[in-house]
Amino acid sequence: MEMWHNPSCSKCATARTTMDEARVPYRLRAYLNEPPSAVELTDVLRRLDARAWDICRTGEPAAAALGMADWPRDDDAEPRWIAAMVEHPELIQRPILLLDDGGALVARTPEALGQAVRRAER
């Protein structure tokens, strides 16, 4: 499993602790220092079964500066959302777990973390 994380994020710290306590192996990717490419982010969205705006932190200053609140949320606009998150990775929701079974989860809740542990134990 790979965990996209921000070392200063409390939700990421909780995810690391949960995986450590469950003895689930994972690799950390500090995505702010190692941003995903558009291809990688598109693959993650497919694995999440999500659209770009579903995992975008629209409350961040970069989102406000770009005026993202007014951006359309449709097929034609999705590449623009992806490009913005690649350029400003702080806009990507965290932590994201890329599971070894090919799935992915945004692991912000205890329920999502529990699901990740169960799937890793299979």
At 97, is the secondary structure helix, strand, or coil?
strand
Give the chain's domain count: 1
Assigned token pair, 99: 């599971």
How far is CA 25 from each of CA 34, 57, 61, 76, 95, rounded to the nearest angstrom? 20, 27, 34, 38, 15
pLDDT in tens, 19-51: 999 999 999 999 999 999 999 999 999 999 999
The percent of the chain in helix, strand and coil, each rounded to the nearest 5, is: 50, 15, 35
What domain range is 102 assigned to? Answer: 2-121
CATH of residue 110: 3.40.30.10
At 39, is the secondary structure helix, strand, or coil?
helix
pLDDT in tens, 48-94: 999 999 999 999 999 999 999 999 999 999 999 999 999 999 999 99
> For the whole model, what pTM was predicted?
0.94
What pLDDT is stored for residue 122 in this prediction? 81
